[in-house]
Amino acid sequence: VKINLEISVITIHRSSFGIAFDIDGVILRGKDPIGGSPQALRRLYGDSGNLNVPFLFLTNGGGIPESRRASELSELLGVKILPSQGNAARADKLKGAIPKEKWFIDLVDLFDFQICYLYENQLIVATGKGEPAVVMSEYGFKKVVSLDEYASCFENIDPLAQYKKWTTKQGLDTSSHPLNTVPRFDVSSETVKAVFVVSDPVDWGRDIQILCDVLRCGGLPGQENGHQPQPPLYFAADDLEYQAAFPSKRLGMGAFRIALESVFNRIHYNPLEYVCFGKPNPFVFKNAEAMLKQLQPSYYSDIFKEPGDSGLPSFKTLYMIGDNPSVDVKGAQQAGHPWFSILTRTGVFRGKHNHAEFPADLASQTMKLSACCKLIFIN
Ligand code: G3P
Ligand code: MG
């Protein structure tokens, strides 16, 4: 009994914290692991391969269904990452997780049924790299078309299409998914009830053109008949810049939002209305905390379980390791206890000292992921 108790005490100590990792600029640059991320992640597993420290990824990137992203990450990082179910009933079976695609943390888990239900049988358009319509349909939206598909239903809607040498399906193995057969709905006469920018848009010019059409014509391009209310517009995130494979920062969804907004506001009498999800929205961090609780090793919750208790004790500390002060650090700050922000220098942030406006709880001179994890373990 004594030995078991000692083991439990050690385990309790080791499990009283959890970690949320940002991906771009912390774990990966493009598709390349950085900052010693594979080794750092391996340390979170025990010898048997079980998860010792609950962790998940909290990224504003997206466009791929969760299950596929999880296996892609598993392959790139050499550890087993499972798609998160975010479901307490299955918590003891989860060993590693990637959360529901960031912003949908808010939509699906918090406002969930209102939004899904609201648009259940109504036409929505989804845009962004990857497979935005597939992602949306996996979150319960029933009648969703990608902007690629939508555009193909309107002749001449993009006057520059003939000059474009690329095809939108390039490089994607999407042929087997039913949502990728075009067209599934006759959308040319149906009103679009909402627009979702799911991931970074690929063809900004076309997307700005068609989104302006949809948004200023009350959801039906080419039908300018009076003052139609703008359909709701949702952005998955609002990152102005992010770190990809190229050495300099790249323009993110926030930059696209600014471009769309600037154009729309010049051609329309009402300013563009929109909602942005993703980090730094505190809801994202609240949901991550709930998911991390479910990822705690089952023996940890068993020890603490009291009658009537959910069996999921609170964390002493939750570390948010990110590279973007105005997104990752700001988010953790706004979320408050038990979040503790750590800023790496492998991505967006390159400053010598801490960030002036959004100072992280920890930002040292040579901070890369492996060093951050070592510090966490020492503390
Ligand atoms: O497009 C992805 C980017 O905006 C941010 O990704 O992982 O740094 O939150 P991440
Ligand atoms: Mg990042």
Judged against a pLDDT cut of 50, whether residue 223 lies above it is answered with yes
What gap in Å lies between CA 188 and CA 344, rounded to an integer? Answer: 47
User: Are residues 300 and 209 part of one domain?
Assistant: no
61 lines ligand 1 (CB under 6 A): yes
The answer to whether 207 and 198 have CB atoms below 8 angstroms apart is no
Band the pLDDT of 174: cuts 50, 70, 90. Answer: very low
| Residues 198 and 338 occupy one common structural domain | no
> Averaged over 183-202, what is the pLDDT?
87
Same domain, 147 and 264: yes
Q: How far is the CA of 242 from the centre of ligand 1 (A)?
A: 6
User: Token digits for 118?
Assistant: 């609201």
Domain's final residue, options 224, 253, 276 = 276
pLDDT of 11 strictly over 80:
no
Residue 142: which pLDDT band, with cuts at 50, 70 and 90? confident
* pLDDT, tens digit, 9 for 90 and up, residues 76-116: 999 888 775 332 212 222 223 344 444 544 455 544 444 65
Residues 221, 117 share a domain: yes
Atom 3 (ligand 1): residue with closest C-alpha? 61
Q: Are residues 179 and 216 in the same domain?
A: yes
**Is the CB of residue 108 less than 8 Å from the CB of residue 87?**
no
Ligand 1 within 6 A of 252 CB? Answer: yes
Give the residue, out of 60, 257, 321, with the most ligand 1 atoms within 8 A of its beta carbon, to mutate for a pocket test: 60
Tokens of 306: 């009291």
On whether both 203 and 82 belong to a single domain, the answer is no
Summarize the confidence of residues 112-139 as an average pLDDT: 80
Question: Looking at the structure, do residues 11 and 149 belong to the same domain, yes or no?
Answer: no
Residue 277, pLDDT score: 84
- Look at 298 and 133; give whichever has higher pLDDT: 133
319 shares a domain with 242? no
Residues 263 and 234 grouped into a single domain? yes
Which residue among 243, 276, 309 closes a domain?
Answer: 276
How many independent structural domains does the chain possess? 2
Pair (92, 49) in one structural domain: yes
C-alpha 278 – ligand 1 centre gap (Å): 10
Q: State the Cα–Cα distance between residues 308 and 314, nearest whole angstrom.
A: 15
**Nearest alpha carbon to residue 158 among 212, 195, 232:** 212
Q: What is the pLDDT of residue 145?
A: 94
Model confidence over 255-285: pLDDT tens digits?
999 999 999 999 999 999 998 888 998 888 9
Considering only CA atoms, which residue is closest to atom 1 of ligand 1?
61
Tell me which of 246 and 11 has the higher pLDDT: 246
pLDDT reading at 297 higher than 50: yes
Asked if residue 59 has its Cβ within 6 Å of ligand 1, the reply is yes
| pLDDT attached to residue 226 | 66
> What per-residue confidence (pLDDT) applies to 198?
93
Binned at pLDDT 50, 70 and 90, residue 3 comes out as very low
336 Cα: distance to centroid of ligand 1 (angstroms): 22
Could you tell me which residues are beta bridge partners of residue 277?
A: none
**In terms of Cα–Cα distance, which of 116, 119, 118 is closest to 106?**
116
Tabulate helix, strand, coil % of the chain (nearest 5).
Answer: 35, 15, 50
3-state secondary structure of 169: coil
- Token code pair at residue 295: 């990822």
Closest listed residue to residue 118, CA positions, set 226, 232, 263, 219: 232
Q: Is the CB of 200 under 6 A from ligand 1?
A: yes
Q: How far apart are CA 330 and CA 188, in angstroms?
A: 42
Ligand nearest to the CA of 343: 2
* Among the bound ligands, the one closest to the CA of 129: 1
How many Å apart are CA 270 and CA 307, to the nearest integer? 56
* Ligand in nearest proximity to the CA of 250: 1
CATH of the domain at 173: 3.40.50.1000
Q: Final residue of a domain: which of 276, 293, 318?
A: 276
User: Higher model confidence: residue 166 or residue 64?
Assistant: 64
Confidence of residue 307 (pLDDT cuts 50, 70, 90): low
pLDDT band, very low/low/confident/very high, at 293 (cuts 50, 70, 90): confident
Q: Are strands 28-29 and 32-33 parallel, antiparallel or unpaired?
A: antiparallel
> Residue 6 pLDDT > 80, yes or no?
no
120 and 267 housed in the same domain: yes
Q: Are 256 and 156 in a shared domain?
A: yes
Residue 232: asked if its preceding bond is cis (omega within 30°), the reply is no
Q: Decide whether any atom of ligand 1 lies within 6 Å of the 22 Cβ.
A: yes
Q: Give the pLDDT mean for 4-16.
A: 44
How far apart, in whole angstroms, are the C-alpha atoms of residue 241 and residue 259? 14
Tell me, in angstroms, the distance from the centre of ligand 2 to residue 23's CA. Answer: 6
101 CB within 6 A, ligand 1: no
User: Ligand 1 centroid vs 104 CA: distance in angstroms?
Assistant: 15
pLDDT given for residue 335 in this prediction = 95
Q: Considering the chain, what is the average pLDDT of its residues?
A: 80
Tens digits of residue pLDDT in 43-73: 988 888 788 889 999 999 989 888 888 889 9
Report CA(134)–ligand 2 centroid distance (Å): 24
Q: CA-to-CA distance for 53 and 33, rounded, in angstroms?
A: 20
Among 22, 24, 321, which residue has the most ligand 1 atoms within 8 Å of its CB, making it the best to mutate? 24
Could you list the residue range(s) of the whole structural domain that residue 86 is in? 2-102+280-378
Q: Write phi, then psi, for 126 (nearest 5 degrees).
A: -125, 135
